[in-house]
């Protein structure tokens, strides 16, 4: 029996994570492995409730503190690890795909919000029970380019369809609405994280055609899982 694997997708807003996850899931479903896609925050009942709270745009006087934000994301992650990730990793022939995981917290709350990185590392270790991805795909691009991509999508479609798995529509785009400086700090944070985990994280230029990106992801995944067919 083949063991299970855990992979995550990371990157700033509009880098195409959802698109690539959808493509990759289709490829895995047609392979000798099964696929489970999870979302952060989300997937669990608690995670979905916290997602609505954490992504909601609110007046400044009603916004939560950055530390509260960090702890709520971590609570959702703890629930996800205990109820979904940990038990499914005991199964055979399964690939778990996470739409964001701990690196998002380090990049967004650490570098973006300027919270203490050593405290974040400790909280991440507790919330994950030290369960980290086997491989992480970091979709990287200049935030200025990505903001234009998001605006273009908004102009093309005002509605969310069942096929559109993006949930951060208008009214729940707290992070998209942050200033460019914030997104630049997040991107720089991801690049710093990459330096610390070069064996786990694979950086991919998100400005390329989506088919080129999906092929690169598949090739790297096959290198990690040689019996993936």
Mean pLDDT of the chain: 89
Q: What is the pTM of this model?
A: 0.88
Q: Is residue 161 part of a domain?
A: yes
Phi-psi region of 43 (alpha: psi -120 to 50; beta: other; left: phi over 0): left
Answer yes or no: are the C-beta atoms of 132 and 102 closer than 8 Å. yes
Q: Tokens in use for 112?
A: 């973006």
Q: Tokens in use for 99?
A: 């739409």
**What pLDDT score was predicted for residue 173?**
66
Q: Is residue 197 part of a domain?
A: yes
Q: Is residue 207 part of a domain?
A: yes
Answer yes or no: are the C-beta atoms of 215 and 151 closer than 8 Å. no
Residues 106-138: tens digit of each pLDDT? 999 999 999 999 999 999 999 999 999 999 999
Q: Which residues pair with 145 in a beta bridge?
A: none
- Find the domain containing 82 and state its range: 5-224
What is the SS3 string spanning the chain? CCCCEEEEEEECCCCCHHHHHHHHHHHHHCCCCEEEEEECCCCCHHHHHHHHHHHCCCCHHHCCCHHHHHHHHHHHHHHHHHHHHHHHCCCCCEEEEEECCHHHHHHHHHHHCCCCHHHHHHHHHHHHCCCCCCEEEEEECCHHHHHHHHHHHHHHCCCCCCCCCCCCCCCCCCCCCCCHHHHHHHHHHHHHHHHHCCCCEEEEECCCCHHHHHHHHHHHHHHHCCCCC
**What pLDDT score was predicted for residue 28?**
97
Q: Is residue 111 part of a domain?
A: yes
Cα maximum dimension of the chain: 55
Q: Is residue 198 part of a domain?
A: yes
CATH of residue 204's domain is 3.40.50.300
- For residues 49 and 162, what is the distance between their CA atoms, to the nearest angstrom? 20
Q: Is residue 181 part of a domain?
A: yes
Cα-Cα-Cα-Cα dihedral of 8, 164, 23, 202, to 10°? -30
Residues 2-38: tens digit of each pLDDT? 789 999 999 999 999 999 999 999 999 999 999 999 9
Over residues 134-153, mean pLDDT: 82
Residues 156-192: tens digit of each pLDDT? 444 444 334 344 444 446 788 889 999 999 999 999 9
Q: What is the total count of domains within the chain?
A: 1
Q: Is residue 229 part of a domain?
A: no
**What pLDDT score was predicted for residue 19?**
97
């Amino acid at each position: 029996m083949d063991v299970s694997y855990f992979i995550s997708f990371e990157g700033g807003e509009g880098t195409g994570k959802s698109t690539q996850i959808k493509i990759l899931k289709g490829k895995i479903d047609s392979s000798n492995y099964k696929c489970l896609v999870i979302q952060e925050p989300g997937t669990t009942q608690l995670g979905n409730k916290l997602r609505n709270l954490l992504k909601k745009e609110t007046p400044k006087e009603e916004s939560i503190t950055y530390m509260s934000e960090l702890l709520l994301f971590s609570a959702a992650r703890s629930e996800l690890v205990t109820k979904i990730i940990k038990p499914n990793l005991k199964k055979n022939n399964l690939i778990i795909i996470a739409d964001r995981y701990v690196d998002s917290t380090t990049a967004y709350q650490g570098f973006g919000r300027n919270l203490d990185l050593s405290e974040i590392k400790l909280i991440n270790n507790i919330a994950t029970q030290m369960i980290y991805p086997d491989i992480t795909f970091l979709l990287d691009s200049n935030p200025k380019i990505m903001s234009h991509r998001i605006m273009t999508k908004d102009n093309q479609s005002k509605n969310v369809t069942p096929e559109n798995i993006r949930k951060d529509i208008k009214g729940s785009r707290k992070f998209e609405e942050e200033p460019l400086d914030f997104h630049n700090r997040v991107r720089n944070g991801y690049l710093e994280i990459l330096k610390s985990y070069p064996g786990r994280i694979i950086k991919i230029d998100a400005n390329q055609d989506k088919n080129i990106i999906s092929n690169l992801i598949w090739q790297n995944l096959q290198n990690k899982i040689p019996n993936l067919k």
